[in-house]
Structure 1
Amino acid sequence: MGGEWKETTVGEFSPFAYGKSLPEKKRENGPYHVYGSNGPVGFHNKPLVEESGIVIGRKGTVGAVHYTAQPFWPIDTTFYVSRANHRDLRYTYYLLKSLGLENMNSDSAVPGLNRDAAHARKILVPELDEQRAIAHILGSLDDKIELNRRMNQTLEAMARAIFKHWFIDFEFPNENGDPYKSSGGEMIDSPLGPIPKGWSVGNISDIANILGGGTPRTSVDEYWDGDIPFFTPKDAKALYCLYTEKCLTKKGLEKCSSRLYEKNTVFITARGTVGKLVLAGTPMAMNQSCYALTGKEVSQYFLYFAIDNLVDSLKQSSHGAVFSTITTATLESTKVLIPEATVERDFRGRIAPFFETILAKNEENGKISELRDSLLPKLMSGEIRVPVSEKEVDQF
């Protein structure tokens, strides 16, 4: 077991430095992340900080804490902590994550984190060996989450490449297993250009049911904080959505014009930030700023990529003087390629394992995140102590 913990302050243990302004027009494309208060916001050809570090939201997303293992540029809406002052930077990252800095907003008009107030926070810190042991435990969980995330990115890219090969390049396997178009497969004219014989062009409404959502009254407490996920555009962050910022009760769902949509329903954001596409990772309801799409005779996987391929066109057709909006009429009437049923069915069989694995990895990440979040305050407060030996420390 480690030694006694010492009382200090954030300012003594981990002093915050101010980030530096770097307007978007002055950024030059390069390998270094530019960090704002809510995470990476772009790239630049040189870093402000030449080593790994921690970025803390100062204005905007107050108190958000981000770790980067690479050199970086924190802009003037942030504070940062560099490795120069720390023997275990990742422990410091988890320590700052545990302090609830997001609750230290010092300005109600323009959210802001006051450095003096943050520096004055009293903290207890263990000796270096226990710091490293704590960081190793939490870091291993985050590393697994990141590994799963990268694997999902690879699987999604592979699935997208197969869709393009089959339904844009028309190189799906013919009856002999050879690429259709380059093997001399017959093409016919269509409103979308040459397409394989036997295929057709129709409207989105020909291949998908287009359904709406709604929001129950926010003033009625019994409608909210239940266990039914409630999808809004804010939740459109990845291929699959498993967790939402808001949840409904059964009573809330009854008072909502949204039905409970099944897993793999395609959601498309239609107001404000339009054109974000997500698959429901679990049954969930949806608000009125989105549409839900369910395939009529095509799979949800084909439907997802087919609509994704039309997003730019849908954005250009959106309406609204203040906020862009995709109307039902626009969505229904947009032209889409309709493949032969046998080709779509073969695609479904080939692509399903990709999506199933992605969803399983997302579910695993959710469980790992819950474990990490439950351990974080207990490890940082000393409620759970980590056994440490010299041999163990040498491994970190």
Structure 2
Amino acid sequence: MSVDNPMTSYCLGDIVSLSQGLPINVKTKHLLVDKGLPLLRITDLINSMYSQFINTDEVPLKCVATEDEIIYTRTGQVGLVFRGVSGVVHNNCFKVIPNKDLVDPNYLYWFLSQSHIKEYANNIASGSVQKDLNHSAFKSIQIDLPPLDIQRKIYPILDSLSNKIALNRQINHTLEAMAQAIFKSWFVDFEPVKAKIAAIEAGEDAEGVTRAAMRAISGKTDEELDQLQAEQPENYTQLKTTAELFPAAMQDSDSGEIPEGWKVGKLGDIAGEKRKNVKIEDINPETPYFGLEHIPRKSISLSEWGYASEISSNKLIFEKGDILFGKIRPYFHKVGVAPIDGVCSTDIIVISPEENYYSFVLSIVSSEKFVEYATQTSEGTKMPRANWKTLMRYPVIIPDKLTSKRYNKIVFVFVNIIQKNIFECKNLSQLRDTLLPKLLSGELSVDAAKLAEEEG
């Protein structure tokens, strides 16, 4: 930092106050309701999924966080920092309330997000089995602050990189939802088939029957399809070809009525378990490693992983494109597509679908219904485990190969975009984490950081 913009040293206790979260115990459990403000426990904050709610009328206001406030985790997983969420802060966290005359809240967020600050917080936390960071310890952490005008020039650079990461993740989430919506329409509700049947019953000719399926597949009206044909004839032809793949009748089966030409089978008919064990001494330390902790809940996008240098036991080999299914406590819904080759925990089932049914299998094993089946059939009480010999018996209605291949083609586009975004997020995260300490320490100027951001 230049002489014109000197740093001023503080303890955090000089520039912030803390507000403890709400303990849920015998005295407060009556506050839990079906609808209200979400309870922000650490696991909820990490997964952005909320399952418990607090009575809005009775909750102490000091425990309520708004989106512009900072939440810091103090028990168990010490040193995680969150903002942009609203709800009731749980007792394993506290709110960090800055003196805005001295520190900008966004600058403070980035200061607390630094890896060495998290490491230091864990070192000064008490407890061996479960870490606990008390208020006094947190307030003792040292911080060097530049003037407010400099703080307000620094944090937008870091925010910009994080916003790009968040946008990519939102795109991935949208693509996953689109794939599941198509799967449900085609292979669960049989909408294109039923549309054809209804058109036949209404006396439509062959072209009208195909048009009905095209409407069901695309969600477009006849007028919109006419416009598509005029303006994008190749896309129109592709849609028509897809519609023609679906049968125009249903047939009886042991599972009820299914599309004509399709069959009732089991997951094991179109997918297998890939179980390639590898000894720890035979693994290159730089090999990417996936543990259950790297697989997010309810998302096939695997954007975080470790390396074999961190592991100490034998693992399983997987290849790019394999499906990784977390078998410990399957209700956590941890299923993803491997974006790279690597090794994984033996608590993960590596699923290898038949080529023509890849996307079909992916959509099945990442569905809520399949995860429920895995949970119901898992073995053990404290640590229930799913196993492939049971999962492979999961009943499925198997479409013909041409229809499945068409679904493959659509979902492959989605998966390729998802994986491209994963690596872009990885690069952006590395750039942000490199710039973060240098910007906050004054080692790197704002102008140089902006140039690095543009080049990144």
Normalised TM-score (structure 2): 0.75
Query: For residue 247 of structure 1, what is the aligned residue in structure 2?
Result: 308
Cα distance change, pair 39–381 in 1 and its aligned pair in 2 (3 A): farther
1 or 2, which has the higher helix percentage? 2
Q: How far off is 1:60 after superposition?
A: 1.1
In 2: Cα distance, 1:158 partner to 1:25 partner: 39
- Whether 2:261 is the aligned partner of 1:198: answer yes
Q: For the residues of structure 1 that align with 2:432 and 2:345, how far apart are their CA atoms?
A: 30
How far does the alpha carbon of each residue in 1:361-391 deviate from its partner, in whole angstroms, 9 at most, with x for none?
1211111111111111111111113259xxx
CA deviations over 1:149-204 (Å, ceiling 9, x no partner): 11221121111111111101112477835329989921112232211011011121
Match for residue 31 of structure 2? Answer: 26
Does residue 210 of structure 2 align to residue 176 of structure 1? Answer: yes
Aligned position for 2:178:
158
Residue 64 of structure 1 pairs with residue 80 of structure 2: yes
Aligned equivalents of 2:214 and 2:371: distance in 1? 26
Where do 5+ consecutive residues of structure 1 fail to align?
Answer: 389-396
Which residue, 265, 271, 279 being the options, matches 2:337?
279
Distance 1:103 1:334 in 2: 47
CA displacement at 1:16 relative to structure 2: 2.5
SS in 2 for 1:209: strand
Do residues 104 (structure 1) and 164 (structure 2) align? no
- Alignment partners' CA distance in 2, 1:30 and 1:84: 33
Partner of residue 393, structure 1: none
Alpha-carbon spacing, 1:132–1:29, altered in 2? closer, same or farther (3 Å): farther
Q: Quick check: 1:49 aligned with 2:109?
A: no
Is 1:281–1:359's contact at 8 Å kept on the other side of the alignment? yes
CA contact (8 A) 2:65 2:95 kept: no
User: By how many angstroms is 1:327 displaced?
Assistant: 2.2
> Mean alpha-carbon deviation: is it higher for 37-46 or for 341-350?
37-46
What is the DSSP-based 3-state SS (H/G/I as helix, E as strand, rest coil) of the residue aligned with 1:193? coil
The one-letter code matched in structure 2 to 1:75 is: H
Select between 12-21 and 172-181 the one with higher mean Cα deviation. 172-181
1:240 match: secondary structure: coil
Q: 1:243 to 1:184 in 2, by over 3 A?
A: closer
Specify which structure has the bigger relative contact order, considering alpha-carbon pairs within 8 angstroms and separated by 6 or more residues: 1
More displaced stretch, 195-204 vs 13-22:
13-22
Which has the higher mean CA deviation after the structures are superposed, 24-33 or 363-372?
24-33
Superposition deviation, residue 102 in structure 1: 3.3
* RMSD (CA atoms): 3.0
User: What amino acid maps onto 1:363 in structure 2?
Assistant: F
Contact in 2 for aligned 1:7/1:122 (Cα 8 Å) = yes
Residue 330 (structure 1) aligns with: 390
- Return closer, same or farther for 1:44/1:55 CA change in 2, 3 Å cut-off: same
**Are residues 1:114 and 2:134 paired?**
yes
C-alpha separation in 2, matches of 1:163 and 1:64: 37
In structure 2, which of residues 152, 168, 177 is the aligned counterpart of residue 132 of structure 1? Answer: 152
Structure 1: distance between partners of 2:30 and 2:401:
49
2: CA distance, partners of 1:103 / 1:230: 26
| 1:52–1:83 CA contact under 8 A, matched in 2 | no
Asked if the contact 1:37/1:62 (under 8 Å) is kept, the reply is: no
Q: Among residues 218, 223, 230, which one is paired with 2:289 in the alignment?
A: 230
Match of 1:394 in 2: none
Q: CA deviation at 1:13?
A: 1.7
AA matched with 1:34:
L
Q: Distance in 2 between matches of 1:145 and 1:359?
A: 13
Q: Give me the whole-angstrom Cα distance separating, in 1, the residues matched to 2:36 and 2:165.
A: 23
Runs of 5+ unmatched residues, structure 2? 197-208, 217-245, 449-456
Matches of 2:261 and 2:137, distance apart in 1: 69
TM-score (norm 1): 0.85
Taking structure 1 as reference, are residues 328 and 72 closer, same or farther at Cα in structure 2, changes over 3 Å only? closer
Paired residues of 2:70 and 2:81 also in contact (CA < 8 A) = yes
Q: C-alpha separation between the residues in 1 aligned to 2:67 and 2:389?
A: 52
- After TM superposition, the structure 1 stretch with the greater mean CA deviation from structure 2, 25-34 or 127-136, is 25-34
1:45 Cα shift?
5.8
Q: 2:373 aligns with which of 313, 337, 343?
A: 313
Q: In 2, distance between residues paired with 1:161 and 1:133? A: 43
Shift of 1:136: 0.6
CA change 1:231–1:159 in 2 (3 A) is: same
Q: Is the 8 A contact 2:32 2:54 kept in 1?
A: yes
Does structure 2 conserve the Cα–Cα contact (< 8 Å) formed by 1:213 and 1:290?
no
**Inter-partner Cα distance in structure 2 for 1:83 and 1:9:** 12
1:99-146 alpha-carbon deviations (Å, 9 max, x no partner): 232333221133111321221222210011111111111111111111
Letter in 1 for 2:39: V
Tell me whether 1:367 sits opposite 2:427 in the alignment.
yes
Distance 1:71 1:208, change over 3 A: closer
* Higher mean C-alpha deviation, range 80-89 or range 298-307: 80-89
Contact 1:318 1:327 in 2 (8 A): yes
Letter in 2 for 1:348: N
The number of residue pairs the alignment matches comes to 379
| Residue 307 of structure 1, CA deviation | 2.1
Task: Give the Cα–Cα distance (whole angstroms) in 1 for the partners of residues 358 and 247 of structure 2.
Answer: 30
